[in-house]
A and B are shown apart, each in its own frame.
Chain A
Amino acid sequence: MSKTKPKLRGAEIFVRALADEGVRHLFGYPGGAVLHIYDELFKQDKIEHILVRHEQGATHAADGYARATGKPGCVLVTSGPGVTNAITGIATAYMDSIPLVVFSGQVATHLIGNDAFQEVDAVGISRPCVKHNFLVKDVRDLASTIKKAFYVAASGRPGPVLVDIPKDVTADVCEYEYPEQVEMRSYRPVVKGHPGQIKRAASTLLSAKKPMIYSGGGVILGEADAELTEMTRLLGYPVTNTLMGLGAYPGTDRQFIGMLGMHGTYEANMAMHHCDVLLAVGARFDDRVTGDLEKFCPYAKIIHIDVDPSSISKNVPVDIPIVGDVKSVLTDLLAQLKNHKQKPDQAALEAWWEQIREWQGIDCLRYDRKSKLIKPQYVLEKLYELTGGDAFITSDVGQHQMWAAQYYKFNKPRRWINSGGLGTMGFGMPAALGVKTAFPDETVACITGEASLVMCIQELSTALQYNLPVKIIMLNNRYMGMVRQWQEFFYDKRYSHSYMEALPDFVKLAESFGHVGVRIEQAADVESALQEALDMKDRLVLMDFVTDQTENVYPMIAAGKGHNEMHLPSERELA
């Protein structure tokens, strides 16, 4: 006779299921609809709950955690405003294909649709920015829905999943059993690439005269950096990474020719324009990468590997599409390349590299290194040197983000954490807290601007409560720098509402939150100030670098231009 299992309340099932799923950290904020769950969290110690100060911070922190670890980030918020505050963070994760599982409280099932207190249609409001979402109407579906949510979030092309749980479901009881695995007839991600297509890709790659490898965030998400690196070295071809793909190939390797796109390097963009075979891996041909589609890679045969069929030929028609998990496809492709009779045309390759070295000679990332004013690029170069390129770097959105991508060389994946797709200001600091939660012993720095930082400044409080001593490197130019740059270039210097008036005293602000604040005004002080901050291992340091106000991000491809139409810094601007 089998013993009947004890019956548990939904809230207890929730906590047990998370623990059984291996969740260690949960970022959240309590409220009426999730009080049963919070009561259960109080009674256990398997899952650490990190109380944020605003639900947007919870989603960004969980997002940073997921990007750094590769495991789904986990969020718990209440109904109504709890969910709506979380939406920006969910959309951020969605655009960058980051696995998140967001649990939202909901009003009791009998009240749904009644405009009850703190009721919002969470499933409806999140639908366009989640990979999938669920409303759990019966406690007997709770455990299996949680299992499905984690499975969907982390498999295939990852993404955020929202699970909406009405309050009465967390009070109802049933037997608990966490499913070992899930089977969904309507959701079966493709893993293996088509062997015939992979064979065609190998032949095409090996017959290239001017090859180019363009890899994106998918290589990092798919844990395929080792395969990408091995293949690239085997072929001896040049490689560029997208903003989301930095670190997938070692940034200091001589075959790496920098980031591509709007603020990519001259050599990467010129090589894109002139290449005859382009291998795109886990990249989605975003408009910031391609520039004008009419002018994109005019001479190239394009091979595209992606786990998401809808990414293929969405913006740019592709000659050899390969749908599959990048790690699996690259492994198969590597085997094909190794066993192939044909070898890369060394003479052609040498001529191609010579051309690329010539483009590199332009030194497109040069700036005035002798300036007395603090150049933002200089701060990032110094940070790179002092951390040996080994820190986790999160960033906000704008000029500082581009400079960080250009001047910090990432040799490892998952070290560069930024909101590439949605471009969410306010992302950087809470994301850094998420990374630090996962890796308490690592150096975690947030590169930000004075406009971005204040968008989620309240999370300084979370940092103190949970002892998350990240370094905040704020490049303060008293402008929304990227907006100002566009207004300078395209709006005849009419700086409409891009000037940050009435800024706080950031040193005092940091101190009032219980942290260390430092203001740096001289270029000569940059290095020592950074070193001091890095040495304060157990303190959060907010560094207010007062930078050159009018510095612009170069190189730049203006909207509607092609890769071969870059705007380089003029000598006057460098003087």
Chain B
Amino acid sequence: MRHILSLLVENEAGALSRIAGLFSARAFNIESLTVAPTEDDSVSRMTIVTVGSEEIVEQITKQLNKLVDVIKVVDLSESSHIERELMLIKVNAKGPAREEIKRLTDIFRGRIIDVTENTYTIEITGDGDKLDAFIQALDARLIIEVVRTGVSGIARGDKAIRA
């Protein structure tokens, strides 16, 4: 099963490599990992998407908690949550395709943020499925470059994860 783990970690050099190292050393999966400081610059918030059985995800959570730099670990997928990912995609936009891509971008509520004679650069956010669907909808031959951030997540409602 897919799980979204949300972590608060000390914003210190090496914290990221401790976490990444843990996943590789214990043969856990990472589908995506995002990290940036929070409003408190001594704390970073990290979102890790992983796949595994309940036992494995329990073990991942325990092992993460054991790391001295990790302040808190919450499995967002255990309750109602919102997940978002940002994608920047550069496509060939010449001839009849140019108008078609513009329409497609509107349908997906994306924005064209850079334009040249030959290309568009499009910004689009949503969950992973939506971004996948956008890529599918495009003619694969037109895609020049895809940049995705990986998932960021937050709990719905009043719930919050604080240091």
Give the interface of A toward B (CB within 8 A): 123-124, 127-128, 131-132, 135, 152, 184-187, 308-310, 312-314, 317
Given A135-B13, A135-B14, A313-B58, is A186 in contact with B71 using a C-beta cutoff of 8 Å?
A: yes
Is the CB–CB distance between B55 and A127 below 8 Å? no
Contact of A310 among B21, B63, B70 (CB under 8 A): B63
The answer to whether A185 and B71 touch across the interface, beta carbons within 8 angstroms, is: yes
Q: Quick check: B68 and A187 within 8 Å, CB to CB? A: yes
Given the complex, which residues of B lie within 8 Å of A186, measured CB to CB? 9-10, 68-71
Given contact pairs A127-B14, A127-B17, A309-B66, a sample of 17 additional A-B residue pairs in the complex whose CB atoms are under 8 Å apart: A128-B25, A131-B68, A132-B68, A132-B69, A135-B13, A152-B68, A185-B71, A186-B9, A186-B10, A186-B69, A309-B62, A309-B65, A310-B59, A310-B62, A312-B62, A313-B58, A313-B59
A185 touches which of B14, B63, B65, B163 (Cβ 8 Å): B163
Interface residues in B51-73 (C-beta closer than 8 Å to A): 55, 58-59, 62-63, 65-66, 68-71
Cα–Cα, bound, A152→B69 (Å): 12
A309 neighbours in B (Cβ, 8 Å)? 62, 65-66
Cα–Cα distance between A308 and B55 once the two chains are bound (Å): 16
The 7 tightest CB contacts between A and B, nearest first, are A310-B62, A132-B68, A186-B71, A187-B68, A309-B62, A310-B63, A128-B25
B94 interfacial by beta-carbon distance below 8 Å: no
Chain B nearest Cβ from A249, distance in angstroms: 28
Can you name the residue of chain B whose Cβ is closest to the Cβ of A132? Answer: B68
Q: A135-B13, A313-B55 are in contact. Are A184 and B62 (CB under 8 A)?
A: no
| Docked CA distance A264–B21 (Å) | 35
CB distance from B11 to the nearest CB of A (A): 11
Given contacts A128-B21, A131-B68, A308-B66, contact A314 B13 (CB under 8 A): no
Nearest B residue (CB) for A127? B21
Q: CA of A124 to CA of B70 in the docked complex: distance in angstroms?
A: 17
CB distance from A316 to the nearest CB of B (A): 11
CA distance A233 to B33 in the complex (A): 52
Q: Is the CB of A310 within 8 A of B66?
A: yes
Interface residue tally on B, bucketed by range: 20 to 34
Contacts of B2 in A (CB 8 A): none
Min CB gap A317→B, angstroms:
8
B148 CB to nearest A CB, Å: 28
Q: In the complex, A187 Cα to B55 Cα: how many Å?
A: 24
In this assembly, does B18 line the interface, its C-beta being within 8 Å of a C-beta of chain A? yes
The answer to whether residues A123 and B14 also contact, given A152-B68, A186-B68, A187-B68 and a CB cut-off of 8 A, is yes
Q: Would you give the shortest CB distance from B54 to chain A, in whole angstroms?
A: 11
Q: Which residue of B lies closest to A123 (CB)?
A: B14
Residue of chain B at shortest CB distance from A185: B71
CA distance A310 to B68 in the complex (A): 14
Closest chain B CB from A537 CB (angstroms): 44
> Nearest chain A CB to B161's CB is how many angstroms away?
14
Which residues of chain B come closer than 8 Å to A123, judged between CB atoms?
14
- A184 contact set on B, CB distance < 8 A: 68
Residue of A nearest to B58 (CB): A313
| A317–B56 alpha-carbon span in the complex (Å) | 12
Q: Mark B28-59, 1 if CB is under 8 A from A, else 0.
A: 00000000000000000000000000010011
> With a CB–CB cut-off of 8 A, which chain A residues contact B63?
310
Contacts of A127 in B (CB 8 A): 14, 17-18, 21
How many Å lie between the Cα of A548 and that of B163 in the bound state? 62
B69 partner residues in chain A, CB cutoff 8 A: 132, 186
A9–B25 alpha-carbon span in the complex (Å): 39
* 8 Å CB contact of B59 from A131, A185, A314: A314
Residue of A nearest to B66 (CB): A310
Minimum distance in angstroms from B91 CB to a CB of chain A:
39
Residue with the greatest number of chain A CB neighbours at <10 A, chosen from B13, B55, B62: B62
Q: Name 11 A/B residue pairs within 8 A (Cβ), A-sorted.
A: A127-B21, A132-B69, A135-B14, A184-B68, A185-B71, A186-B71, A308-B66, A309-B62, A310-B62, A310-B63, A310-B66
Nearest CB of A to B8, in Å: 8
Residues of A contacting B62 with CB < 8 Å?
309-310, 312
Which residues in B have their C-beta under 8 angstroms from that of A131? 68
Docked complex Cα distance between A186 and B17 (Å): 17
- A152 contacts across to B, CB distance below 8 A: 68
Chain B hits for A312, CB < 8 A: 62
Give A103 Cβ to nearest chain B Cβ, in Å.
Answer: 17
Q: What is the CA–CA distance of A357 and B78 in the complex, to the nearest angstrom?
A: 50
CA distance in complex: A416, B59 (Å): 31
Q: Within the complex, what minimum Cβ distance (angstroms) separates B70 from chain A?
A: 6
Would you give the shortest CB distance from A156 to chain B, in whole angstroms?
Answer: 9
Contacts of B65 in A (CB 8 A): 309-310
Provide the B61-100 mask, 1 if CB < 8 A to any CB of A, else 0: 0110110111100000000000000000000000000000
User: How far, in whole Å, are A185 and B9 apart by their CA atoms in the complex?
Assistant: 10
State A317–B10 Cα separation when bound (angstroms).
32
Question: In the bound complex, how far is the Cα of B62 from the Cα of A152, in angstroms?
Answer: 18
* Separation of A124 and B66 alpha carbons in the complex (Å): 18
How close is A240's CB to chain B, nearest CB, in angstroms?
A: 26
Most A-side CB within 10 Å, residue of B10, B25, B63, B68: B68
The residue in chain B whose Cβ has the minimal distance to the Cβ of A184 is B68
CA distance A310 to B70 in the complex (A): 14
Tell me, rounded to whole Å, the shortest Cβ–Cβ distance linking B16 to chain A.
Answer: 12
Residues of chain A within 8 A (CB-CB) of B55 are 313, 317
Complex: chain B residue closest to A187, CB-CB = B68
Complex CA–CA separation, A389 to B91 (angstroms): 78
**How near does chain B come to A382, taking the closest CB pair, in angstroms?**
44
Q: B17 to A124, Cβ gap below 8 A?
A: yes
Q: Say how far A291's CB is from chain B's closest CB, in angstroms.
A: 20
A467 to B70 Cα, complex, angstroms: 45
Q: Which residue of B lies closest to A323 (CB)?
A: B62
Task: Specify which chain A residues have a CB less than 8 angstroms from the CB of B21 in the assembled complex.
Answer: 127-128
A127, A310, A312, A314 interface centre (most CB from chain B within 10 Å) = A310
Shortest C-beta distance, A475 to chain B (Å), equals 35
CA distance A495 to B17 in the complex (A): 42
The minimal Cβ–Cβ distance linking B72 to chain A, given in whole angstroms, is 8
CA A313 – CA B60 in complex, angstroms?
12
Nearest CB in chain B: distance from A324 CB, A: 15
CA separation between A55 and B30, bound complex, in Å?
Answer: 36
Q: Which residue of B lies closest to A137 (CB)?
A: B13
Chain A residues near B68 (CB, 8 Å)? Answer: 131-132, 152, 184, 186-187
Q: Whose C-beta in chain A lies nearest to the C-beta of B24?
A: A128
Docked pose: A308 CA to B59 CA in angstroms: 12
Measured between alpha carbons, how far is A564 from B62 in the docked complex, in Å? 32
Complex CA distance for A310 and B63, rounded to whole angstroms: 6
